[in-house]
Structure 1
Amino acid sequence: MILSNNHIDNSDESAFSPPRPNIMLLGLLMALSTMANSIVAPMLPIYATKLNATPTQIGLLVSIFGFVRFVIQPIIGNYSDKWGHRRVIQAMLALFTIAGLGYAVGENIQSLLFFRSIQAIAVGGLSVSIRAYINQITTKNNRGGVNGTISAMQNAGSLLGPVVGGVAADWLSIQAPFYLLSFFSLIGLILSFSLPNVKFNQYNIDSNKHDKKQTRWPNALYLLAGINILEFVGLGIWVTLWPIFASETMHWNSSLIGLSFSISALASLITAPVWGKISDLYGRTISGITGLLFLLIQPVAVVLFNHNFVLLWLCFVLAGAGGTGYFNAYYTIVGDLSPDGDVGKIQGVLGAASQLGNSAGSILGSFIWQALTIQIAFWTDASILMICIIGYIPLFITEMRTRKQNKTYEEELTQ
């Protein structure tokens, strides 16, 4: 037991473990969907220009994705709890398949905007339903490790997608990446029928007693949500301004800037399972705080040591690993704290809030850059991450106290 809903769970959860084929299948579905999404992301603006889209329309093509996710995720999360997460996973993969075909045969920017919205629904719904499904088939003793496995597969898809999409566009046609989006999504849809249909957590002895009218979200969940929104504000600042700073101040070319993101993604992929084990063995908050500290190093190093090439790349590696450590802790704690039957709703609401934070960070970073300096924007990013670390302290204290109480209880049982 880690962070609880105001009580200590003394059940022997270690006796239960979700079937490994189900975990690997979930990871494969996450990898396929992430790869499908990242295949088209770099190609979409290029494709839009070939359809004579204006710069404003291309900007709308990008922004509508986040807006639709912000609106739709809480709705899908709520219905995912009612209908079953497996059904929602299948529905979202079907939408992915439709979106890819729609892109490929689209003849104007209006059709691209429509199918971009469909894709946003699919991405948002799949993110919510897969994480909620994970919570339904895991216990507090193995949830961190499972989330680590899923994150590793997700990162693998993110790494492969742009490469596959770029090669397909160069060697076949500009429409080829969109057909691949449909192809990989269709494979995922077929595989998803192998997932067992689980409505409530089979390891929660109170599942059958669940009453939504009596459900009260724990206070720690609100604190965690606030921390995550702030983290996404910082992420929005970084993603928006780092390429500009690297290009204009450090005179890096596009390949080098892209490689900096790829190095972080690779570090994230490699370390994801390790963070999962750390989370399960030593505590979620240990993983979260350490991950945030690694992330904090990145904007500080860019401002202070941007001429030290080796140190910068080391910081990119640490930041990639740190991001995975933080998100592993976040998703696992959300799973630990979510009342059974509200898992999808909570994932949807928090996911929407994250999208809002990311957009706010992009706007805030741009404003600080124009009004002051880009360096101050990076210091703002670092300050936000420090606030997140401070916010984790009450969660850390609660978790350590709970772990100590559980350890004392187990020792009493063995005497």
Structure 2
Amino acid sequence: MSTPVKVRLPPEIWVLIAAAFVIALGFGLVAPVLPQYAREFGVGIAAASAIVSAFALMRLLFAPASGRLVQKLGERRVYLAGIAIVAVSTGACALAQTYWQLMVLRSLGGIGSTMFTVSSMALIIRVSPPAARGRVSGVYSTSFLLGSLLGPLVGGALAGLGLRAPFVIYAVALLIVCLIVFVGLRESPVLATDSATAAPELTFRQAMSRPAYRAVLLTSFAGGAAVFGVRMAFVPLLVVEILEQEAGMAGVALTVFAAGNAAVLFASGRLSDRFGRKPFLILGSAICAVGTAALGFAPTMPWFLAASFVAGLGSGMFTPVQQAALADVIGTRARGGPVLAAFQMSADLGTVLGPIVIGWVADHTSFEVGMTVTGAVLAVSAALWLVTPEPSRIVHHEDPAHPDHAGDGIDPQCTCDGGPADAPVVRDGMAPTGRRAGYGKSP
């Protein structure tokens, strides 16, 4: 095995990673107080919960439009506009006088959130060196996780300021992020090509013809259903109703899951650049499947915490790597707004459907069966990757590091994955030229 080449990350990456940390920190600051804030307007529990659902629903519904905006306006404009919309709508939440005003403002925030999410993925892909995509995804995911964990802690420290204060603080932080990103990316030589040349577009139909993209969508859906949907909905119920523990222990279980996640997020992304995406996508999904299913059979709290940690380890192994695999599919130069939007929608759809479907299963059978079915969805995702070609071996004719033209311009006769519609597609890592598919490295 050849020694991996150390790739220096461009400064744009660190700007985006810092922005992600602040955004996650602020979201973790606002999310815990939102239902309680809604209750201040005299509504019931269901109505207060609907405020959270409205945000998620607008993210899901507006994702296709966000993809088209990225395609037409470019990543930076949509990114900045999305953050600005979330900042203004969040700040206005602090001034809301009625429940319905709060509902409308959070819905607008959901629209801005999906604009930010889709465009940030696009920006990360555009500025990431192809040989360091896994490493970048690992760092980015880790920064987001740390921000999410610290947010509630900061919120607890600021509890004395009242329920409206977190919205104002988050809004100000987002406006600062918007300014930093604008300045940090304004002179980017990587993104300057947007105005100089027409970036090739990757349509959803083209992406769906690639096995790796279909597998990424399933992994994204499975992760959304199991990690963000069923786990968040069922852990409190399992802890209180089955294990007969205090409600606070549910928070401990969620923290243990996050600890398992954080333990491997960065390493898995980095190592996938050297060993390929498939080992981590297969093993991570399988481990998360076992840990998730084990939650339903836990007889004691220590067992439950151990299962949570195992599930977190598995999730941490496949989460950043699936994003790197998505970048492998799209390539460095192409714009794939609808492709990215579908990736986000698959996770959001899993998050919405997971608790509903598994809740119905648990009602008609048991928690054990419900959690086993959830684990089975992850296992199916792992099985699909067994028969899917390695994504990191895909070659894009427009990539600047392509071995046939090394950034000297796009060769219209290039026969690589992502090339002309009638061009042969890379299969099993072997480019039609006879070279080993890659990014300019010797076979």
Q: In the alignment, is the contact (CA less than 8 A) between 2:199 and 2:334 conserved in 1?
A: no
**1:113 and 1:237 mapped to 2: Cα distance?**
25
**Pairing 1:45–2:35 present:** yes
Residues 304-348 of structure 1: per-residue CA shift (max 9 Å, x gap)? 343261x43333223223212211121111111126443222111
1:226 Cα deviation after fit: 2.8
**1:234 and 1:214 mapped to 2: Cα distance?**
25
Quick one: structure 1 residues 142 and 414, their matched pair in 2 at CA, closer, same or farther if it must change by over 3 Å? closer
Quick one: structure 1 residues 293 and 203, their matched pair in 2 at CA, closer, same or farther if it must change by over 3 Å? farther
Quick one: structure 1 residues 182 and 407, their matched pair in 2 at CA, closer, same or farther if it must change by over 3 Å? same
**1:214 and 1:88 mapped to 2: Cα distance?**
19
Mind listing any 5+ residue stretches in structure 1 that lack a counterpart? 1-12
**2:204 and 2:363 mapped to 1: Cα distance?**
49
Q: In the alignment, is the contact (CA less than 8 A) between 2:136 and 2:269 conserved in 1?
A: yes
The residue type equivalent to 1:177 in the other structure is: P
The SS at the match of 2:35 is helix
1:232 Cα deviation after fit: 2.4
Q: Which moved more, 1:57-66 or 1:23-32?
A: 57-66
> Which residue is 1:28 aligned to?
18
**Pairing 1:178–2:171 present:** no
**2:437 and 2:147 mapped to 1: Cα distance?**
43
Q: In the alignment, is the contact (CA less than 8 A) between 2:225 and 2:351 conserved in 1?
A: yes
Residues 258-283 of structure 1: per-residue CA shift (max 9 Å, x gap)? 12112222332342210111110111
Q: Of 176, 185, 195, which residue of structure 2 is paired with 1:187?
A: 176
Q: In the alignment, is the contact (CA less than 8 A) between 2:36 and 2:48 conserved in 1?
A: no
**Pairing 1:131–2:124 present:** no
1:15 Cα deviation after fit: 9.1
> Which residue is 1:103 aligned to?
93
**1:294 and 1:306 mapped to 2: Cα distance?**
20
* TM-score, length-scaled by structure 2: 0.81
**1:214 and 1:276 mapped to 2: Cα distance?**
25
Aligned length: 397
> Which residue is 1:234 aligned to?
226
Quick one: structure 1 residues 211 and 243, their matched pair in 2 at CA, closer, same or farther if it must change by over 3 Å? closer
* TM-score, length-scaled by structure 1: 0.86
**Pairing 1:115–2:136 present:** no
Quick one: structure 1 residues 202 and 172, their matched pair in 2 at CA, closer, same or farther if it must change by over 3 Å? closer
> Which residue is 1:258 aligned to?
251
1:249-398 matched pairs, under 5 angstroms? 249-307=242-300, 309=302, 311-338=303-330, 340-395=333-388
Quick one: structure 1 residues 211 and 61, their matched pair in 2 at CA, closer, same or farther if it must change by over 3 Å? closer
Tell which has more relative contact order, 1 or 2 (C-alpha 8 A, sep 6+): 1
1:50-61 matched pairs, under 5 angstroms? 50-61=40-51
**Pairing 1:219–2:215 present:** no
Q: In the alignment, is the contact (CA less than 8 A) between 1:89 and 1:125 conserved in 2?
A: yes
Quick one: structure 1 residues 202 and 390, their matched pair in 2 at CA, closer, same or farther if it must change by over 3 Å? farther
> Which residue is 1:89 aligned to?
79
The SS at the match of 1:290 is helix
**1:409 and 1:388 mapped to 2: Cα distance?**
25
Q: In the alignment, is the contact (CA less than 8 A) between 2:281 and 2:318 conserved in 1?
A: yes
The residue type equivalent to 2:97 in the other structure is: E
The SS at the match of 1:195 is helix
1:55 Cα deviation after fit: 2.9
1:100 Cα deviation after fit: 2.1
The residue type equivalent to 2:240 in the other structure is: S
1:62-73 matched pairs, under 5 angstroms? 62-73=52-63
Residues 213-253 of structure 1: per-residue CA shift (max 9 Å, x gap)? 89822322123213322332333223222210111111222
The SS at the match of 1:45 is helix
1:155 Cα deviation after fit: 0.5
Q: Which moved more, 1:238-247 or 1:26-35?
A: 238-247
**1:199 and 1:113 mapped to 2: Cα distance?**
41
Q: Which moved more, 1:230-239 or 1:387-396?
A: 230-239
1:18 Cα deviation after fit: 4.0
The residue type equivalent to 1:330 in the other structure is: Q
Q: In the alignment, is the contact (CA less than 8 A) between 2:90 and 2:167 conserved in 1?
A: yes
Q: In the alignment, is the contact (CA less than 8 A) between 1:288 and 1:328 conserved in 2?
A: no
The residue type equivalent to 1:166 in the other structure is: G
1:286 Cα deviation after fit: 1.2
The SS at the match of 1:149 is helix
1:85 Cα deviation after fit: 1.2
Quick one: structure 1 residues 407 and 141, their matched pair in 2 at CA, closer, same or farther if it must change by over 3 Å? farther
1:381 Cα deviation after fit: 0.9
Q: In the alignment, is the contact (CA less than 8 A) between 1:35 and 1:161 conserved in 2?
A: yes
Calculate the aligned-residue CA RMSD, in Å.
Answer: 3.0
Q: In the alignment, is the contact (CA less than 8 A) between 2:202 and 2:334 conserved in 1?
A: yes
In terms of fraction of residues, the more helix-rich structure is 1
The SS at the match of 2:387 is helix
1:81 Cα deviation after fit: 2.6
1:167 Cα deviation after fit: 2.4
Quick one: structure 1 residues 398 and 180, their matched pair in 2 at CA, closer, same or farther if it must change by over 3 Å? closer
Residues 108-129 of structure 1: per-residue CA shift (max 9 Å, x gap)? 1111101111221222121111
1:211 Cα deviation after fit: 5.8
Mind listing any 5+ residue stretches in structure 2 that lack a counterpart? 394-426
1:14 Cα deviation after fit: 6.5
1:399-414 matched pairs, under 5 angstroms? 402=428
**1:250 and 1:379 mapped to 2: Cα distance?**
18
The residue type equivalent to 1:133 in the other structure is: L
